[in-house]
Amino acid sequence: MQLGLQLLEYTINAIRSRIEIEKAERDRNFQELVAVAGSAIATVSLLQSPAKDFCIQGSRKDIFPKIPYFCDYPFSFSLAFAFIVGFIVWRLRKILL
């Protein structure tokens, strides 16, 4: 009986260790998602106001001559830039970690 009990304990410990590894992997993936989303949201919030200010001040032709739709859709361009920044952050995290 003692050997059977010991085998069951080893099996339970192996299952517990697998569960802990899966929990740690889920937590790491969630932290990566939060880091990437946080950098993208911060980029959008930092670019939204200056983009509007540049277009409102009448300096559209001086600052953004090669991007004709920037002043018409500043949120879209800041959102696209946020996706680019999010991808860069995600890629750097994959390379460095």
* pLDDT single digits (tens) 11-25: 999 999 999 999 999
* pLDDT single digits (tens) 39-82: 888 888 887 776 666 665 555 555 555 566 666 777 777 778 88
Q: How many domains does the chain have?
A: 1
Domain that holds residue 82: 2-96
43-51 — which CB contacts under 8 Å span 24+ positions?
Answer: 43/78, 43/81, 43/82, 43/85, 43/86, 44/75, 44/78, 44/79, 44/81, 44/82, 47/74, 47/77, 47/78, 47/81, 47/82, 48/74, 48/75, 48/78, 51/75, 51/77, 51/78
Does residue 39 contact residue 80 with C-beta atoms inside 8 Å? no
